[in-house]
Amino acid sequence: MEYVTEKWGGRPHKSGHVHLLGEDEHGVWLWGPSGRTIWRGQEPIFTTEQDALILIVDGAWWSAGWWEDHPDVALYVDVGTPPARTPDRLTSVDLDLDVARFCDGRVEILDRDEFELHQVELAYPSEIVAAAERAAAEVLSLVTRNAAPFDGIAASRWFEHARAAELPPLDG
Protein backbone atom coordinates (compact mmCIF):
# COMPACT_ATOMS: atom_id res chain seq x y z
CA MET A 1 0.00 0.00 0.00
CA GLU A 2 1.24 3.51 -0.75
CA TYR A 3 1.01 6.13 1.99
CA VAL A 4 1.09 9.64 0.52
CA THR A 5 1.12 13.09 2.06
CA GLU A 6 0.79 16.12 -0.14
CA LYS A 7 1.07 19.82 0.52
CA TRP A 8 -1.91 22.06 -0.06
CA GLY A 9 -2.82 22.42 -3.74
CA GLY A 10 -1.66 18.90 -4.67
CA ARG A 11 2.07 19.61 -4.30
CA PRO A 12 4.10 16.46 -3.58
CA HIS A 13 5.39 16.07 -0.03
CA LYS A 14 6.28 12.51 0.99
CA SER A 15 5.27 9.04 -0.08
CA GLY A 16 6.36 5.52 0.63
CA HIS A 17 5.10 1.98 0.70
CA VAL A 18 3.79 0.37 3.88
CA HIS A 19 2.17 -2.88 4.90
CA LEU A 20 -1.43 -2.75 6.06
CA LEU A 21 -1.29 -4.57 9.41
CA GLY A 22 -4.91 -4.38 10.45
CA GLU A 23 -7.52 -2.38 12.25
CA ASP A 24 -8.67 -2.09 15.86
CA GLU A 25 -10.74 0.27 17.99
CA HIS A 26 -8.14 3.02 17.45
CA GLY A 27 -7.96 2.88 13.66
CA VAL A 28 -5.89 1.43 10.82
CA TRP A 29 -2.31 0.37 11.58
CA LEU A 30 0.43 0.52 8.95
CA TRP A 31 3.96 -0.91 9.09
CA GLY A 32 6.95 0.62 7.36
CA PRO A 33 10.02 -1.55 7.83
CA SER A 34 13.44 0.11 7.92
CA GLY A 35 15.27 0.39 4.64
CA ARG A 36 12.35 1.62 2.57
CA THR A 37 12.61 4.65 0.32
CA ILE A 38 10.66 7.84 0.99
CA TRP A 39 9.91 9.87 -2.12
CA ARG A 40 8.98 13.45 -3.03
CA GLY A 41 7.25 13.13 -6.36
CA GLN A 42 9.61 11.05 -8.51
CA GLU A 43 12.70 11.86 -6.42
CA PRO A 44 13.93 9.65 -3.57
CA ILE A 45 14.62 11.85 -0.53
CA PHE A 46 15.82 9.34 2.08
CA THR A 47 15.94 5.72 3.18
CA THR A 48 14.33 4.97 6.51
CA GLU A 49 16.59 3.89 9.37
CA GLN A 50 13.93 2.66 11.82
CA ASP A 51 10.87 0.48 11.58
CA ALA A 52 7.79 2.69 11.69
CA LEU A 53 4.29 2.05 12.95
CA ILE A 54 1.62 4.48 11.74
CA LEU A 55 -1.93 4.91 13.01
CA ILE A 56 -4.57 6.36 10.68
CA VAL A 57 -8.01 7.19 12.05
CA ASP A 58 -10.90 7.77 9.65
CA GLY A 59 -12.03 11.38 9.91
CA ALA A 60 -9.13 12.45 12.15
CA TRP A 61 -7.04 15.51 11.29
CA TRP A 62 -3.84 13.71 12.37
CA SER A 63 -1.81 10.53 11.93
CA ALA A 64 0.44 9.12 14.65
CA GLY A 65 3.82 7.51 14.14
CA TRP A 66 6.16 5.52 16.35
CA TRP A 67 9.70 4.73 15.19
CA GLU A 68 11.36 1.78 16.83
CA ASP A 69 14.53 2.76 18.72
CA HIS A 70 14.57 6.36 17.46
CA PRO A 71 17.25 8.20 19.45
CA ASP A 72 15.20 11.37 20.05
CA VAL A 73 11.49 10.95 19.29
CA ALA A 74 9.11 8.54 21.04
CA LEU A 75 5.92 9.64 19.20
CA TYR A 76 5.35 11.95 16.24
CA VAL A 77 1.87 13.11 15.25
CA ASP A 78 1.39 14.83 11.90
CA VAL A 79 -1.54 17.22 11.60
CA GLY A 80 -3.23 16.93 8.21
CA THR A 81 -6.52 16.48 6.46
CA PRO A 82 -8.47 13.29 7.09
CA PRO A 83 -7.12 10.59 4.77
CA ALA A 84 -8.69 9.54 1.50
CA ARG A 85 -8.44 5.77 1.21
CA THR A 86 -8.49 3.42 -1.77
CA PRO A 87 -7.58 -0.29 -1.63
CA ASP A 88 -3.93 0.43 -2.45
CA ARG A 89 -3.38 4.03 -1.30
CA LEU A 90 -3.92 6.42 1.63
CA THR A 91 -3.58 10.14 0.89
CA SER A 92 -3.80 13.21 3.10
CA VAL A 93 -2.64 16.82 2.99
CA ASP A 94 0.13 17.65 5.47
CA LEU A 95 -0.72 20.89 7.27
CA ASP A 96 2.73 21.44 8.77
CA LEU A 97 1.89 21.33 12.47
CA ASP A 98 3.24 18.32 14.35
CA VAL A 99 3.07 17.17 17.95
CA ALA A 100 6.07 15.25 19.26
CA ARG A 101 6.80 13.40 22.45
CA PHE A 102 10.56 13.27 22.83
CA CYS A 103 12.40 10.46 24.55
CA ASP A 104 13.14 12.77 27.48
CA GLY A 105 9.36 13.18 28.06
CA ARG A 106 8.89 16.68 26.57
CA VAL A 107 5.77 17.20 24.46
CA GLU A 108 5.74 20.07 21.96
CA ILE A 109 3.93 21.45 18.93
CA LEU A 110 6.46 21.76 16.10
CA ASP A 111 6.65 23.70 12.84
CA ARG A 112 4.31 26.54 13.78
CA ASP A 113 6.52 28.87 11.70
CA GLU A 114 6.06 26.68 8.61
CA PHE A 115 2.29 26.56 9.25
CA GLU A 116 2.10 30.36 9.43
CA LEU A 117 4.22 30.76 6.29
CA HIS A 118 2.15 28.27 4.31
CA GLN A 119 -1.11 29.96 5.33
CA VAL A 120 0.06 32.80 3.09
CA GLU A 121 2.21 31.03 0.47
CA LEU A 122 -0.16 28.12 -0.14
CA ALA A 123 -3.36 30.08 0.62
CA TYR A 124 -4.85 27.78 3.24
CA PRO A 125 -8.58 28.50 3.58
CA SER A 126 -9.57 29.83 7.00
CA GLU A 127 -11.57 26.67 7.82
CA ILE A 128 -8.47 24.54 7.13
CA VAL A 129 -6.37 26.77 9.40
CA ALA A 130 -8.96 26.49 12.17
CA ALA A 131 -9.25 22.68 11.80
CA ALA A 132 -5.46 22.26 11.92
CA GLU A 133 -5.16 24.45 15.02
CA ARG A 134 -7.97 22.54 16.76
CA ALA A 135 -6.37 19.20 15.89
CA ALA A 136 -2.93 20.28 17.13
CA ALA A 137 -4.36 21.56 20.43
CA GLU A 138 -6.42 18.39 20.96
CA VAL A 139 -3.50 16.08 20.15
CA LEU A 140 -1.16 18.11 22.39
CA SER A 141 -3.58 17.64 25.28
CA LEU A 142 -4.04 13.90 24.65
CA VAL A 143 -0.31 13.23 24.23
CA THR A 144 0.52 15.29 27.34
CA ARG A 145 -2.03 13.27 29.35
CA ASN A 146 -0.67 10.03 27.82
CA ALA A 147 -4.20 9.12 26.69
CA ALA A 148 -4.89 6.20 24.36
CA PRO A 149 -3.85 5.62 21.65
CA PHE A 150 -0.89 7.93 22.31
CA ASP A 151 0.11 6.00 25.44
CA GLY A 152 1.77 3.37 23.25
CA ILE A 153 -0.06 0.35 24.66
CA ALA A 154 -1.84 -0.54 21.42
CA ALA A 155 1.25 0.45 19.44
CA SER A 156 3.32 -2.10 21.39
CA ARG A 157 0.86 -4.84 20.43
CA TRP A 158 1.03 -3.84 16.76
CA PHE A 159 4.85 -3.72 16.85
CA GLU A 160 4.81 -7.30 18.15
CA HIS A 161 2.28 -8.30 15.50
CA ALA A 162 4.43 -6.82 12.70
CA ARG A 163 7.58 -8.57 13.90
CA ALA A 164 5.78 -11.91 14.30
CA ALA A 165 4.27 -11.62 10.80
CA GLU A 166 7.74 -11.59 9.18
CA LEU A 167 6.57 -9.21 6.48
CA PRO A 168 8.75 -8.82 3.40
CA PRO A 169 10.92 -5.73 2.93
CA LEU A 170 9.48 -2.86 0.91
CA ASP A 171 11.59 -1.38 -1.83
CA GLY A 172 9.17 1.27 -3.09
As a three-state string, the secondary structure of the chain is CEEEEEECCCEEEEEEECEEEEEECCEEEEEECCCCEEEECCEEEEECCCCEEEEECCCCCEEEEEECCCCCEEEEEEEECCCEEECCEEEEEEEEEEEEEECCCCEEEECHHHHHHHHHHCCCCHHHHHHHHHHHHHHHHHHHCCCCCCCCHHHHHHHHHHHHHCCCCCCC
The average pLDDT across 101-117 equals: 97
**Would residue 171 count as lying in a domain?**
no
Indicate if the pLDDT at residue 166 is higher than 90.
no
Q: Which of 36, 34, 107, 45 is nearest to 70 (CA)?
A: 34
Average pLDDT over residues 55-78: 96
> Does residue 172 carry a pLDDT above 60?
no
- Predicted pLDDT of residue 169: 81
Alpha-carbon span 137 to 141, nearest angstrom:
6
Tally of structural domains, the chain: 1
Predicted confidence at residue 130, as pLDDT, reads 98
pLDDT at 127: 98
Burial class (CB in 10 A: 0-12, 13-18, 19+), 120: exposed
In a domain, 88, yes or no: yes
Is position 125 within any domain? yes
Q: Which domain holds residue 104?
A: 2-165
107: CATH: 2.40.380.10
Answer yes or no: is 172 within a domain: no
Output the pLDDT for position 170: 83
pLDDT one-digit tens code per residue, 121-143: 999 999 999 999 999 999 999 99
Residues 10-65: pLDDT tens digits?
Answer: 999 999 999 999 999 999 999 999 999 999 999 999 999 999 999 999 999 999 99
User: Confidence class of residue 5 from pLDDT cuts 50, 70 and 90?
Assistant: very high
